[in-house]
Every structure is written in structure tokens, then in C-alpha cells.
Structure 1
Amino acid sequence: MHQKSLVAARTGGAMAAVVLGSLLVAAPQAAAADVTCSANVFKRTFYKNTSFSGSPVKTDCDSAVSESWSGSPAYGVPSNNFSVRWSVTRDFGSGGPFTFAASATDGVRVYLDGVRKIDLWKGTGDTARSQSVNLTVPAGKHTLRVDYLNWTGAAKVKFTYTPRTAAVYDKTKPLFPTGVTTAYNTTTRKTTVSWYANKEMDLASYSLYRRPVGSSTWTKVTTTAARSHTDPLVNPDDRTPYYYAVRAHDKAGNVSPGSAAVIVRPLPVVTSLTGTYDKATGKVTLKWPLNTEPHFSHYTVLSNDKVEGSYVWVPLGTTTGNTWTTGPVTPDGEWRHYRVLVTNDGGTTTYNPHWLDANAPHELWLGIPDGIAPAYAPDLTLGTCAGGVRATASDSTPAPIRDFIGLEIERREAGTDTWAVALHQGYDPRTATATATVCDPLPADGRTYEYRARTYDAAGNYSPYSEIRAVTVPVG
């Protein structure tokens, strides 16, 4: 009677048998596909020869090179005259002194970045030999490779690489921690600092430091083997910003430089404030960077206005956006002052002193264009001068409250519509009355001319015109 089916399997040296019809045959293992191993885990390849040639019979991952095979190490690999290769590329951090140790029956070779460091390549039967070397591994990523072959007998192989942590050997500082981040809790008013694990193989601990912004003195918060820590310091008012930095310690007592300092602002801040004035609408539009802190709640926009004879900060409203448009603002050529405050989800708001602060990034001093013309028309008188008409414009407004910088006189021929500028000039500020005079040359042809005058300010705004005055030039 024919056996219909049969399956046999063995872990490690995996063997399988299947029935094809009535014939029992060995099922070949699937072709060894490329294998990706976890970080710092060796990739292991088996060969059915002692030259590491041809396609591997099997490829897998191995957390450590430590084997003792009494027969075939894997399905398809003979018990004698086979080879195995382990390889791993890993980050050694700052590097430093290491000990490489290998023991094996028959042949074992160890390479660092392709350079042979251990060479035990001789048939030994069932008796293992060992060798260790002390060397310095440079900082960064490097590749380890272990080649093992077995000619006959027991197949034993072991390899380790360990840092030398005695202070007399290790003078290499560990790398500083990276990926430092912070999280502020507005309920407890405490800061939690986290960072990435160091690549060092001889890491002992981390030290966390803090200092207030504006101070140069660092205070150690804790020493820990963990990669995060909640600072027990309670921020007194949610407003005091601190810097945090982390250092790494190795087992030899070497200390890394400090990590990049990370600032913790328990209260979000507006880092810049800009604004524009729209002449058409008379409104000011304010803009600032939008805060993204998890403990951000909202903004309050304020304007510095005169209330009952004193300037105070008056709230215009609140928003969660990063723009604000005011109501119409009088275009008086004066400065306007604005502030944007931030409130966190704990209810604390940016400090808001009553005075102006020209250096505050969340405060804007905006010059409003002058759109207000001088209020009154000047006086205009006409007389004669050599070859024409003398026209004089004057304004007796006291000098301290004058809202103009010059006077302009225009002339046209009576009965026409086109005015021509006869004079546009400033006045002598030393005189009690602001005066400007022009001798306007005109032909003696009996025609009548009309004159008018107005003042103007520095922004180009003009006052109302004076009354029109006429003069007839006699025929010469």
C-alpha cells in the first residue's frame, strides 16, 4: 500500500519531505531571498562549501554569533566542509576602545570594515581555539563580518565585541544626546523633557540641566538612565521661559558636550507683529505668526488709546487666528500702537505693562499717513510790482500750532477754467505771520487775472482756497 502523504520538519536544519504520487522525495528549500534584519542584528548566510561561493543555501538573522553544531547546521548544508558568514552594520556612536574576542573549531576570521582583525584559520578537529584583540573603533557606522568554516567534526564558533569601559583605556567622550523635545503641562506647570537614545554601547546615564532665559548658570535637574524626565520645578506664573539641555555619561566616566539647548516657553509668545494701513478704508490690518503649541488658547489684540486724558491699552477683541483688522482709524499722521497677547489653556496671559515697549516683538508702532488737510485758508492780497502783479499769501496761525509747511498761489485769466501755479514755497518760520510773496510778470494788455491761495502740509494735503481776487493789468 502506498503512503499517501508525509511531512517531516526540523527547526534549524529544516528538512521537509512530501509525497508526489507514490514517490517520497525531499522538498528543496526555497531559494534564499535577501533578508533584512533588525538594527544591530547579524545577517547569517550558510554555504555548502568552504569557499563562501555560489548562492547561499540559507539566509536568516542571528542576534549573536554563538553556535555549537554536531551535525548539519541547516537543511541542505553538509555536516562537514561548510561555511557560514555573519555580517552587521551598526552605529558605534563616538567609537572608542573595544575588545574583539573569537573562539572556534577549525577556521574563523573577523573583519572590521573589510580589514581582518582576527585570523584563526586552521583545522582543529573538535578542539576550539580562541583569540582576542584590543582595538579602537572610530565614531559612526561600521561593518563587522565573521567568516566561519568547518572542515570536519564538531562545529563550534563564538564572537563578541564589547567596549572597554575602564577609565584608564576609554578617554572618548560620548556623543551628545539628540532629538531633545519638551512638553509643558499648564495644569501642573511642569516641563517634561525627552530625547533620543544614544548610539553608545557603553552608555551609563544621562544628566538633565536647566537655566532661565537670560541667565548663564545651568542647574542639574537629575541624572537618569531613562530618556525622559519631568522637571519637578513648578513654573511660578506660566511666564518664565527656561532652557533645557542633556548630557550623556559613559561607563568610564566620560561626559558628552551638552545637547542643543531647547527653550521652553510655558506661555506661547507672538514673535513678530506687522501691520499695514489701508487709505481707502482707513483700517489697520495686523499680522503675526500663528502659534502651534499644544497649550495655546487664543490671542487678545489691544490698541493704545487715550481714555479720560491718559493713554491706556484698550482690548479690541480676541481671536484664534493670526490676523486682525481694526475699525477705521483717523488718518492724522500720528503713531498708532498695537499689542497682541497670548493666553494658554491654563488661563495665563502675556504680561501687559501699561507703558510702551519699543523692543517688544509682540508690539507694533505704526505710522498712520496724514490725511487731514490744514483747516483754514490763508489771506491773499494783490498789488503791483515791476512788470507784473505782486501776490502775497499769509496766515497768522501761531507757529506752535501751524499744521502746514508752505503756501501756494494760483492764477488764471478771467473767463477761463485753467489755473496755473504762480508760487509754491515754504515760509520764513522766524516771522510772526507765515508769508509767501511772488512778483508775477504779466503783459500790459488790459486783461483781467484772478488769483487764489491755499496752504499745504508735509503729507501733500491742501487747505481750502482763499477768496478769489482779481486784478486788471492796464494797457502799456
Structure 2
Amino acid sequence: MLPKRLVAVRTGAGAALSAVVVGSLLVAAPQAAAAGVTCSANVYKRTFYKTTSFSSTPVKTDCDSAVSQSWSGSPLTGVPSNNFAVRWSVTRDFGSGGPFTFTVAATDGVRVLLDGVRKIDLWTSTGDTPRSKSVNLTIPSGKHTIRVDYVNWSGAAKVDFTYAPRTSATYDRTKPLAPTGVKTAYNTTTRRTTVSWSANKEMDLAGYSLYRRPVGSGTWTRVTTTTARSHTDPLVNPDDRTPYYYEVRAKDKAGNTSSGSTDTIVRPLPVVTSLTGTYDKVTGKVTLKWPLNTEPHFDHYTVLSNDKVDGSYVWVPLGTTTGNTWTTGPVTADGETRHYRVLVTNDGGTTTYNPDWLDATATNELWLDIPDGIAPAYAPDLALSSCAGGIRATATDDTPAPIRDFTGFEIERREAGTGTWSVVLHQGYDPRLATATASVCDALAFDGRTYEYRARTYDAAGNYSPYSETRAVTLPVPVS
């Protein structure tokens, strides 16, 4: 007796394993199903079985562009001529969905399923004579799976299956999905815009329409109707400054038109959409920031400050940059509002319109309040007199009201020879008076002590003026 052994039998160089020898018997070896078979979009995955049971081990799995076969014998090695099965399945995006027709013609048994639900069932033996059936159905929008199960019990194996949208307006009232993936490109040499978009997923697509409207207008103008997925608008932008919105609409063969794609704005001249800034009290510098433009036709920014030149305020360029930050030189902490503006220049040399005046609504303009770090320049006058039960201290300043740079007075007192001052008054003044003044009656015991007083002014930012001259007064000792 020959020992049990396995011998590979090949039918040619590089051929797949087709038979093995077990002992002295030669038997057919099933071809293993391709592991992890991935088919292209909208292409069927096809699986062969050597029995009519779809639960048996697959002989082979591959990809098939269409369900259209006619086998007079075995469809492939490892599968018999009779009593075999084949399954096709495909998952695809049907876009907006709508009315479809499924048509199948086959010998012997065939079933067609949509998302696991049987739509066609012809499961009887026919010999070599095929029969056919069509069904009309509505497929919801989005992704769905079609499956075709076929068995051949005997004789010729023939199977054909197709699915197609019903394109008559009588049946199809489903609007296509709005186009997506709209992109624009502006050419600063020709001053024209090219619009492109992604392929629509509809199977009954007839074409696209491209529309345009100026920013600020509600009226759309149709630019073109095309079956392509890009178009260059013949409109020449007169000055690189007029922005337009574009949108694309899809139309199917039944005449249904989609809603517009998401409106895409084309700015021939990129803009600064927001401008912010901070003031550093330590360095005295202002740092400006804005979103970085990514348009292909962007070239550079120009940063400006509104400064007084020869008695008039004008926009003064500080410099240019391709980045989105700018730090100025030291700015006086004077409590005033500083104004900054950032302009954009495209690669065609056109720059943002730069009016002479200030515009609080402009997104590329910043009004920045600088902290007040300047103290009142002069010390107030201080006078002492007596009052009931103590000493009256009065601070005055005769600076004219329109140019006063302080908001109130502060008076301090200490006992002569000590180092600690106490605040006895901190208050504003009556702005209606020609001379600003504030006074306090400081109640002190008559015990013969000497007290010193001093005064200063302060502004709204908490800055203090120099102190006045120190005034001293000695209280009398009560007579016993």
C-alpha cells in the first residue's frame, strides 16, 4: 500500500492549486475564497459556491462589473457544472433615490434583494430556458445594498440582472441632491473665476447649472448649463474688488432641479475678516492679530496706524508682512484710542480700498483703547484752617475745566515725626466750579500735638499727581 501523502498537481507554470493526491486517489481541491476582496465603487462582489447552499464554504470571491453570465458547463475550477450557486452584491449611494426598475432574466433559481428584502423571487427549475421579470420600486436616498442570488440545478446557467432609474417625469418627482464640494479659483491676470464641484451621485443626472450673484444682491444670474464639473465664468471683474456668490444646481432626466449648493463666495481681493489687538503695559507695544488668508491669489498685508501728521490725522503705513501678526513700536500710555487698519494686496497688485476716514464697522479696522499711564502733571494747593472740633484741610486747583486731567483730590495726614500717613479725604470735585476744590474737617483732640498734611490729585485710571507742599499745624492744649 502506498503511504498517505499530499501531492500538488499543476496544469501549468504559475497555475493555481487545482487537485491533490490523497493516498492513491486524485480529487479536486476547492479554490480558497480570496481573503479581504475589495471591489471598486459600484462594482459587484461575486462569490461562487460548489453547492446550492449559500452557507457552504465559498470556492472563490472576485469582482464583477455586471451580472450577465452564460455558462454551458462549470463556471470555474472547483465548481461543478450542475448544482452550484453564485451570489452578487453591491452597496452604492443612490443619491436622492427615487423610482427604479429591477429586471432579471435567468435559468433555474434567482432572487433579487434590496437591503435584505426580497423584491424578485424566481426559484424554480427551468432547464436551459430562461425567463424574466421586472419590478418597479422606489429606493430611498442614500446608500443601499442590492444582492442577486442565483442557483443552477442543471443544464445551461444563464443570468442577467440590471437596475436603472425611471426617468419619465410621470414617475420621477424626486429632486436631485444639491451638488457638493464647490471650489473656486480666481485668476488675477484674466480677472475671471473658475468654479468646480464634485460629481453628483444621481444615476439619472442630466447636467448642472452654474449661477452667480453679486454680494448684497438677491438676484441670481445663470452663467452656464453643462454636463462638465467645472466652468470658467466669462465675466471679467472690473477692478478685483467686487465679490460674487456662486452656486451649482443639478438637473435630472425627468426635469427635476435640485436646490442650490452651499453658496461659495469669491473675493477677487482677499479681506481681513477680523482684527484684534492688545497693549503690553511693560513694553508699551501693541500686538495686532487677524486670520491668515489662504486664497491662492493672496500676496501680502500692509499694516497702518492713524496718526497725526502736520496737524491732521492720516493713515500711516507701518510696514508689510505675509504673516497674520504685527507688533508696533512703543505707544505712549496716554489713555487715548488708537486706530489700526490692515490692507490686503493680491498677486495682481490690487490693494484693499483705503478711505481717509475712520470706519467703526470695517472688519479690517481696530479701535484700541490704550491704558492711561500719564499722571496729572501738577500738585494741587493745600490750605489749613480750623473747624469745629478739628482742622480743616482744603485742596484746590485752578486749571481751567476743559483741560483738567484729574477727577478728584486726596488729602493725607500724619503726626509729625512719624512715618505713617492716613487718608482723610478721597473724593471728586464739583466740575461746575471755576476752581476745583475739595475740603474736609479732620476731627482731632486738642492735645498739643503737631500734625502734617499733604494733598494730591488723581485721574480716572488711578494715576496720582505729585504731592503738594506739606503743611503743619499744632493743636492747642486745653486750659484746665
TM-score > 0.5, shorter chain as reference: yes
Residue identity in the other structure for 1:255 = T
What is the alpha-carbon distance in structure 2 between the residues aligned to residue 92 and residue 271 of structure 1?
A: 39
Residue identity in the other structure for 1:331 = A
How far off is 1:19 after superposition?
11
What is the alpha-carbon distance in structure 1 between the residues aligned to residue 363 and residue 293 of structure 2?
A: 14
- The match for 2:204 is 202
Task: State the Cα deviation string for residues 172-223 of structure 1 (Å, max 9, x = none).
Answer: 1111111112222222222221211111111110111111111111111111
Give the secondary-structure state (helix, strand or coil) at the position aligned to 1:400: helix
Task: List alignment gaps of at least 5 residues for structure 1.
Answer: none
1:50 to 47, 52, 61: 52
* 1:217 is aligned to 2:219: yes
1:273-292 map, 5 Å? 273-292=275-294
- Would you say the 8 A contact 2:401–2:431 is kept in 1? yes
Q: Which runs of 4+ in 1 moved over 6 A?
A: 14-20, 23-27
- The match for 2:136 is 134
Give the secondary-structure state (helix, strand or coil) at the position aligned to 1:216: coil
* 1:120 is aligned to 2:122: yes
Task: State the Cα deviation string for residues 138-179 of structure 1 (Å, max 9, x = none).
Answer: 111111111222222222111111111111111111111111
- Alpha-carbon RMSD across the aligned residues, in angstroms, is 2.3
- The match for 2:443 is 441
CA change 1:325–1:94 in 2 (3 A) is same
Residue identity in the other structure for 2:194 = T
What is the alpha-carbon distance in structure 2 between the residues aligned to residue 153 and residue 390 of structure 1?
A: 126
- The match for 2:32 is 31
- Would you say the 8 A contact 2:18–2:78 is kept in 1? no
CA change 1:460–1:16 in 2 (3 A) is closer
Give the secondary-structure state (helix, strand or coil) at the position aligned to 1:174: coil
Say how many residue pairs are matched: 467
What is the alpha-carbon distance in structure 2 between the residues aligned to residue 279 and residue 251 of structure 1?
A: 68
Residue identity in the other structure for 2:32 = A
What is the alpha-carbon distance in structure 1 between the residues aligned to residue 424 and residue 150 of structure 2?
A: 107
- The match for 1:65 is 67
- Would you say the 8 A contact 1:298–1:320 is kept in 2? yes
Give the secondary-structure state (helix, strand or coil) at the position aligned to 2:224: strand
- Would you say the 8 A contact 2:31–2:78 is kept in 1? no
- Would you say the 8 A contact 1:9–1:16 is kept in 2? no
Give the secondary-structure state (helix, strand or coil) at the position aligned to 2:402: helix
Greater shift after overlay, 215-224 or 409-418? 409-418
What is the alpha-carbon distance in structure 2 between the residues aligned to residue 340 and residue 194 of structure 1?
A: 31
Task: State the Cα deviation string for residues 58-103 of structure 1 (Å, max 9, x = none).
Answer: 2211111111111111112122222221111111111111111111
Residue identity in the other structure for 1:169 = Y
Identity %: 81
How far off is 1:9 after superposition?
6.3
Greater shift after overlay, 403-412 or 326-335? 403-412
- The match for 1:156 is 158
Give the secondary-structure state (helix, strand or coil) at the position aligned to 2:259: coil
Greater shift after overlay, 209-218 or 404-413? 404-413
- Would you say the 8 A contact 2:106–2:160 is kept in 1? yes
Scaled by the length of structure 1, what TM-score is found? 0.92
What is the alpha-carbon distance in structure 2 between the residues aligned to residue 433 and residue 18 of structure 1?
A: 118
- The match for 1:402 is 404
Give the secondary-structure state (helix, strand or coil) at the position aligned to 2:329: coil
- Would you say the 8 A contact 1:18–1:24 is kept in 2? no
What is the alpha-carbon distance in structure 2 between the residues aligned to residue 126 and residue 29 of structure 1?
A: 26
What is the alpha-carbon distance in structure 2 between the residues aligned to residue 183 and residue 257 of structure 1?
A: 23
Give the secondary-structure state (helix, strand or coil) at the position aligned to 2:80: coil
How far off is 1:18 after superposition?
8.8
- Would you say the 8 A contact 1:16–1:26 is kept in 2? no
Scaled by the length of structure 2, what TM-score is found? 0.92
What is the alpha-carbon distance in structure 1 between the residues aligned to residue 84 and residue 451 of structure 2?
A: 121
- The match for 2:347 is 345
Task: List alignment gaps of at least 5 residues for structure 2.
Answer: 1-7
- The match for 1:413 is 415
- Would you say the 8 A contact 1:409–1:422 is kept in 2? yes
How far off is 1:329 after superposition?
1.1
Task: State the Cα deviation string for residues 399-440 of structure 1 (Å, max 9, x = none).
Answer: 111111112222222233322222222112222111112222
How far off is 1:25 after superposition?
6.5
- Would you say the 8 A contact 2:18–2:77 is kept in 1? no
* 1:464 is aligned to 2:470: no
